[in-house]
Amino acid sequence: MIPVNSVLQVGHFPEIMQAEIDRRFTPIHHPDPQAPAPAGNFQAILIRSNTKLPEALVKQIPSIRMVATCGVGYDNLPLDYLKANGIKASNTPGVLNDAVCELAVGMMLALLRHIPKAQEYVKSNAWSKAPFRITTTLAGKRVGIAGMGRIGQDLAERLKPFKVEIAYSGPNKKLLPYTYYREIKDLAKDCDILFLACPATPETNKMVNAAVLEALGTTGYLINIARGSVVDEDALLYALQHKKIAGAALDVFENEPNPNKDFLNLDNVLLTPHIGSATSETRIAMTQLAVDNLEAFFKQQPLPSEVNN
């Protein structure tokens, strides 16, 4: 049981998620994270991973002992401050793997087979004048996954039936039946399709730079389902504009929800509005796990998915 007036809900939650929150407990709403904290003896904060939690806001509420973020990413939290002050944090890993991987595979197929353009070709009656362009098949391709965590491993399992070769990069080699590269540049050089599924950390910031894109090459494709910060967007735009890579599919951007407008003018990109986990089933499951963490905190039990920062 979560005590009344004990949780501050920061930022906006979609209707389907808010309904699940309201079913479980009654939070105090604080829509604008930049606004001064409301009066109250709050012990926990509930927030979405797409909303940045200002350190200044947490400092205004010295009674806060726990922050629950609804999402697998927790780069929105002031982790150093939380750790220094003994404030617990939780996220919602695992429950969104299916939805994110489904979108990743869909984006890959849409990018290689030009599915959005093919639909427009039919709708515009252009098909009656000439056949649609020849596209690229997936079978036989070398697929690289940068970040072989929960999502990366689930993605690899979904890719196996497509008759592809799978490799990965990351800080550590894992007991997996795939080729391992310590450096993403080496992975990019030896793959046709490069997925980004790594967390946003100082180490991964702008990890995909001009050198990595050059290694990916003119026939290579980039698919980002991680975070916009993982890619040097200036370098990516240059590579796309000058055909240094074949194309890119992006669900995440540096400046959301207002990505660089130069992406909108390219014909070799597929763009989606950060919808990796945006299914009703997944958003409900994420919300349930976030609230489960809050309930465990108030019961003084171990958190189901604590962030060990």
List, for residues 75-121, the tens digit of each pLDDT value. Answer: 999 999 999 999 999 999 999 999 999 999 999 999 999 999 999 99
Of 181, 106, 170, 103, residue with least CA distance to 138:
106
Q: What is the pLDDT of residue 219?
A: 98
Over 80: is that where the pLDDT of 51 sits?
Answer: yes
Q: What is the pLDDT of residue 282?
A: 97
Residues 120, 157, 183, 256: which is the catalytic one? Answer: 256
Over 90: is that where the pLDDT of 284 sits?
Answer: yes
DSSP 2: P
Instruction: Provide φ and ψ at 9, rounded to 5°.
Output: -90, 115
Of 187, 188, 167, 190, residue with least CA distance to 177:
167
Over 90: is that where the pLDDT of 309 sits?
Answer: no
Over 80: is that where the pLDDT of 274 sits?
Answer: yes
List, for residues 144-184, the tens digit of each pLDDT value. Answer: 999 999 999 999 999 999 999 999 999 999 999 999 999 99
Residues 30, 48, 114, 227: which is the catalytic one? Answer: 227
Q: What is the mean pLDDT of residues 131-147?
A: 98
Over 80: is that where the pLDDT of 137 sits?
Answer: yes
Over 90: is that where the pLDDT of 64 sits?
Answer: yes
Over 70: is that where the pLDDT of 264 sits?
Answer: yes
**DSSP H helix total and E strand total for the chain:** 10, 12
Q: Taking a C-beta distance cutoff of 8 angstroms, is the pair 53, 47 a contact?
A: yes
Q: What is the pLDDT of residue 1?
A: 84
Active site residue 274: yes
Q: What is the pLDDT of residue 308?
A: 86
Whole-number mean pLDDT of the chain? 97
Q: What is the pLDDT of residue 268?
A: 97
CA-based max dimension of the chain: 69
Residues 55, 274, 295, 306: which is the catalytic one? Answer: 274
- C-alpha dihedral over 70, 71, 74, 76, to 10 degrees? -70
